[in-house]
Amino acid sequence: MADKKKKFYITTAIDYVNASPHLGHAYEKIAADCIARWHKLLGEDVFFLTGTDENAQKNVKAAKKAKIAIKQFVDSNAKLFIKLCKKLQISNDDFIRTIEERHKKVAQQIFELLHKKDLIYKGNYEGLYCTGCEAFKTEKELVTGKCPEHPNLQLELLKEEAYFFKLSLYQDRITQLLEKKYFVVPEAKRKEMLSRIKEQGLKDLCVSRKNLKWGIPVPFDKEHTIYVWIDALTNYISALEYPKGKYKKYWPADVHVIGKDINWFHSVIWPSLLIAADIEIPKTILVHGFINIKGEKISKTTGLVIDPFSITESYGVDSFRYFLLREIPFGQDGDFNEKALVARHNNELADKLGNLVSRTAGLTEKQNTKVKQVKQGQANKTLFKKLKLKEIQKHMQDYELDKALHKIFDFIDDCNAYIQEKKPWQEKDKEKLNNILYSVSDSTRIIAILLWPFIPETAEKIAKQFEFEIKSFDDCKPSLLKLSKIKKAPILFKKIGLEDGLKKATKSGELKKGLRKGL
């Protein structure tokens, strides 16, 4: 009997559909996709979930402002997020929408379960509410009287009857959980949560709103709607058909990929709800930073956005993916800069990777013969030893995606230097020539496998050109390229100028208002 594959369940946060997708949504999905694809290369049974949060009141306000019926509004915008996933080559296995019946059923089930366990009670709430965060704010959380994440939004003073979850009961359990090194990554984000609990403690959590027409009704009290965080967070199990179906196979989540602004909800509130419901907690909360434009956070609320559809139209999907993964150390804030994107496209993708593939194919085709397989040839060993496979693995294990890419491109540099040193165009000895060409061809095969999680479309083009299939990380060893007649193909990355990208985007008709703001 074949060995059972190790499972790997990874999720992104679900996105509000109050406006079109922006660069921040694209970055989170691309990073999660890179991790998911890496685990597929490792031979694991991967399940990758993303989706949209459609029951939030900010969606209702946006629909009202647009003078569109709320259901029509969320349907239309949800399609844009689905389109974005396809455009960016995201390999998600499911896309959950919180207005779906499968989600509604589970959210109500969890709410009722907690109520029956006497962990939810009715009371009255009075406090300041931020519609941008969909959360009540304490005085300690405010900066000069405003929400630090949405300083342009007016806080609302709300006083109403509500149901509360006994979050305060779980302070010790959550503190112990956060003391585990790998529960929240990176380290700084874990310590932030511990500090906040130490300073503020855990207070019972408001989990319903009264007399709202949009949202999931509390199952035993139709005057109340389930508050967005209990509703939204349960998507991670509702998509798995809790308590049966895929839930039994894939839960607990191995990685929740989220932005730093919702760390508290995922690192504190979510595990508290799960512990209360006797459900196993996720293994890792992986927190990324914000993408800024000249230091200012991208936000649909403020209108400072970059349209990922236009950027990919201008520069290509893989150049966009590569830039974000290489430019921004995971967990840190990053600055989006089109000039930097163009520089990386030209200097790294075109001059290094593209040049290696083009030269290798061109030199091989020039010989008008098949490259013969070399069984652990000396030249191949010499070149392969320069590849830091274990370091790449460790970087990926630690979610240091930019560092893993850096090591892969170090090897690309080594391959280009090898060609320059060996000068195959001058080699008269056919056996030596074959060894040189086989070494760089086989190394290019390994490079394509390693790049597949980052720039899948390009990696698959290389695989087709060099006549092999991308299957497994185990294939990243020398002398596995079979007899092959490698032919030249269209250039992988044509050099571009910033103005070329702008013209192409404008011509496509997808250049949105505000796209270049701050650049």
DSSP 3: P
How would you classify residue 211: left for phi > 0, otherwise alpha for psi between -120 and 50, otherwise beta? left
Determine the 3-state secondary structure of 421 from DSSP.
helix
Query: In 95-239, where does DSSP find H-type helix?
Result: 101-116, 171-178, 187-200, 228-233, 235-238
Tell me how crowded residue 509 is: count the other CB atoms within 10 A of its CB.
8
DSSP 210: E
CA dist., res. 305 & res. 328, Å (int): 18
Q: If you search the block for the tokens 């058909």, which residue do you land on?
A: 241
CA dist., res. 478 & res. 9, Å (int): 31
Decide if 164 contacts 204 (C-beta within 8 A): yes
CA dist., res. 477 & res. 431, Å (int): 22
Beta-ladder partners of 53: 16
Residue 130 burial (10 A CB sphere; 0-12, 13-18, 19+) = buried
Decide if 486 contacts 371 (C-beta within 8 A): yes
Catalytic (active-site) positions: 22, 25, 130, 133, 147, 150, 297, 300
Neighbour order of strands in the sheet with 221-226: 208-210, 221-226, 217-218
> Is the sign of the CA dihedral 127, 128, 131, 135 positive or negative?
negative
Q: If you search the block for the tokens 């050109």, which residue do you land on?
A: 465
Angle formed at CA 216 by CA 215 and CA 222, multiple of 5 degrees = 105
Select from 174, 207, 212, 211 the least CA-distant residue to 193: 174
Select from 206, 204, 200 the least CA-distant residue to 227: 206
Select from 11, 412, 403, 75 the least CA-distant residue to 238: 11
Name 456's Cβ contacts closer than 8 Å, sequence gap at least 6: 37, 89, 91, 318
Decide if 147 contacts 134 (C-beta within 8 A): no
Beta-ladder partners of 137: 128
Report the first-to-last Cα separation within the chain, whole angstroms: 57
CA dist., res. 317 & res. 271, Å (int): 36
Q: If you search the block for the tokens 């496979």, which residue do you land on?
A: 389
DSSP 453: T
